[in-house]
Amino acid sequence: MALKSNEKQVECGELTVTVRELTVSEVREWLQAISTESEENHETDLIDGFLFKELTLRDLRRMTDLSDDQVEASTPSQLRVVLEACKEVNPHFFELRTRLIEVGEKAVAMGFTDSISSV
């Protein structure tokens, strides 16, 4: 299968993983999903949320063709290769995420914690 211009393939252990660029609509859906999760006070899986500083494992799956089982069977170093490809293919997503975190940190510093959610 031919890759689209906004896709990249990387090796993750025995797997060949396709990383794709998120559309604007998918970025909106991501932002809505994290906002809804925060409002509903869902418990965060610590590994999913904190294994990597740059994104959650859920975000990684959103940008790739990896299944839940494939992510679970991979090592962090294998997933790091995939994450770096995600950063390469989705620079605008990561720039947006950084800006949102900065705004959140400023809001917390100013005492506006009721009106922000974690990113």
Task: Note the pLDDT tens digit of each residue in 47-105.
Answer: 998 999 999 999 999 999 999 999 999 999 999 999 999 999 999 999 999 999 899 89
By percentage, how much of the chain surpasses pLDDT 70? Answer: 85
Q: What is the pLDDT of residue 86?
A: 98
| Least confident window among 7-16, 32-41, 64-73, 102-111 | 32-41
- Share the mean pLDDT of the chain: 88
19 SS3 class: strand
Segment 20-42 shows an average pLDDT of 83
So where are the chain's domains?
A: 8-115
Burial class (CB in 10 A: 0-12, 13-18, 19+), 51: middle
- Strand pairing category for 7-12 and 15-20: antiparallel
Query: Residue ranges of the alpha helices (H) in 1-119?
Result: 24-39, 46-50, 57-63, 68-73, 76-89, 91-109
Q: Enter the pTM of the model.
A: 0.82
Judged by DSSP in three states, 107 sits in helix
